């Protein structure tokens, strides 16, 4: 192989090689995540239990204790 006479050409080639290697590595990693459905498994096993634990313990209004007044609702009849 010939050695490059100018230094900027060598630096540019090395930079492009590293950039291409990084892009290929990212592509391989993303394919592995997609192929084994690792994002779905992470959401199911880690995120969902945390969200269920948080939202199941929230204070909520008891709708069974509120009165049901028929006269406060509009009539649902079609007027032509």
pLDDT at 66: 74
Instruction: Map out the domains of the chain as residue ranges.
Output: 7-57
In sequence order, the 6+-apart residues with CB closer than 8 A to the CB of 14 are none
**10-21 tens-digit pLDDT:** 888 899 999 999
Supply the pTM of this predicted model: 0.58
- Dihedral sign for Cα 38, 42, 43, 48, please: positive
CB 32 within 8 A of CB 38: yes
Q: How many CA atoms lie within 13 A of 14 on its CB side?
A: 6
- The Cα–Cα gap between 29 and 21 comes to 12
């Amino acid at each position: 192989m010939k050695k490059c006479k100018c230094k900027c050409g060598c630096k540019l080639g090395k930079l492009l090689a590293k950039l291409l290697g990084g892009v290929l590595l990212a592509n391989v990693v993303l394919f592995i995540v997609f192929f084994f459905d690792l994002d779905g498994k992470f959401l199911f096993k880690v995120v969902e239990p945390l969200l269920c634990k948080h939202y199941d313990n929230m204070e909520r209004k008891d709708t069974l204790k509120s009165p049901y007044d028929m006269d406060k609702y509009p009539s649902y009849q079609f007027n032509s």
